[in-house]
Chains A and B, each alone.
Chain A
């Protein structure tokens, strides 16, 4: 089963990737916009998943980091600088701020930490709105150019979607590597039991700060993609509700699961669109769907799958045991 399961999983992965590349080719502009948004939000949610799912720290500031990245990209690219420079600035800036924001996490936990990060979120929003000289305040920044990637212009929706998808692939690979590295294992140890992690010789202070900083930096990466995607930004999208949405994506998808953010972002970005035929009711239905899902499976969508697989594994194991037992009994 294991070898077959592995092949199936690889086949499924390839099928999904191929579908993500081919199917959108005949999508209209809006469909491509939504899919690109899914890719961008997945990156941001992956960052939060690292902070929450792997290091166990609740953060309500991820939306603010997306905002910082988006403003870095908007301000720099409208000044004629390349997007890659803005990406560098956003990563460094968000990493540094995330590191500093991690310090309260060393002192306070759970809901207290949620509120420290919530306060930061609000402060960031106020800076976006009020510092006109930098962010043009409530008027926002328009005419954000889309980048040239390896000589290809991404002005049209389809190439830009591929750009977002490619970025998502790069971030996913980096994340895949990270959570399998000693660092990732240290993060998990931290989540499961901070005291035991400390007794195992893990520098919990450093890893908590690191989880915050890397998670925040990924929020910044998502932001630098978000700005050229919408080509116009103002403070409104980066208020607290984005942070709450991102937290919801991580939990609904399944926090601590690698593919959780992909599914969570799909629910949060695509489900309201699919429900749009119900007109005014779509966000209501979305809210009800999220609540029902969480009542049914508090560990998110992947939690259901995980439970199902665990059940099958136990069944398989007990079947094997039964077989072995009967053999023992029939043996002379």
Chain B
């Protein structure tokens, strides 16, 4: 039990990042039935955008702003206009496959234009340890956790307390009815894409200092975020948050207590069990099947 606290904090920190990525994923699904298989690569790219700006000689804070703006343009606006809009009316599967191709393309582009090697990435949280309850906990984990929680709370407030949030939820629940009662559905859908782009840029900023910037780093992350979204509830933002935290903690505990070899299997088994017994996810609501 000695290092349980460390494991929990580290698990919650990675889990919070998974939650950020998973929330964007569920938002896209809710408003536009987009399953983005490139979500992991969406997290990988902003780090490289920021690195590129830094290589051009800009300071870190400027690189962060430029990275977020570029991410909004490319991964938000560009993704929606160039790939999702032309394909949306053709159903879920072709679009999902197209995002798989997008993932390959993004990975290869970064490998080709930037580097195949892992690059270090500066952290926005200072290194060091603090002691809590007599235990030494890494400051980085705490900082990441705090920032991610702040963003998640901000997002929940946006969705539940503001008019724009209500309009977005209405769009997510039933676009036709939302349009009738005067919600600018198109603008709301665009907004979810921009929010997703912002969230992945932020996740990139938080996770890259821990795992280095590498062209292939999106694979594991994307998969973890998908599992988090499914486990928590595919059609619920709070489900994605809960799922993200759960997967982060379970993953860390499994690595410590089960076996390092089969650590990746533990979240998978959790996923299968949950899907079989509660297909809508822990906090999700069932989707009606159409005949």
Contacts and interface: CB of A to CB of B under 8 A. Distances in A.
Interface of A: 58, 104, 107-112, 115-116, 118-120, 122-123, 126, 129-130, 193, 195, 240, 244, 247-248, 251-252, 255, 280-281, 283-284, 286-288, 290-291, 294-295, 298-299
Most buried by B among A240, A294, A298: A294
Interface residues of B, number: 40
A170 B261 CA distance: 40
A295 B90 CA distance: 9
A126 B261 contact: yes
B285 to A, nearest CB: 14
Interface in B61-114: 83, 86-87, 90-95, 97-98, 100-102, 104-105, 108-109, 111-112
Contacts, number: 111
Most buried by A among B92, B97, B111, B234: B97
27 contacts: A58-B93, A104-B272, A107-B276, A109-B289, A111-B230, A115-B227, A116-B275, A122-B264, A122-B268, A123-B265, A193-B291, A240-B223, A247-B97, A248-B101, A255-B93, A280-B112, A286-B101, A287-B101, A287-B102, A290-B97, A291-B83, A291-B98, A294-B98, A295-B98, A298-B95, A299-B90, A299-B94
B279 interface: yes
B273 to A, nearest CB: 10
A112 B108 contact: no
Given A107-B276, A112-B230, A283 B90 contact: no
**A interface SS class:** helix
A126 B262 contact: yes
Contact of B86 (A108, A111, A248, A295): A295
A25 B18 CA distance: 52
B249 interface: no
A244 B271 contact: no
Interface string B248-291: 00000000000001101100110110011001000000000101
Nearest to A281: B112
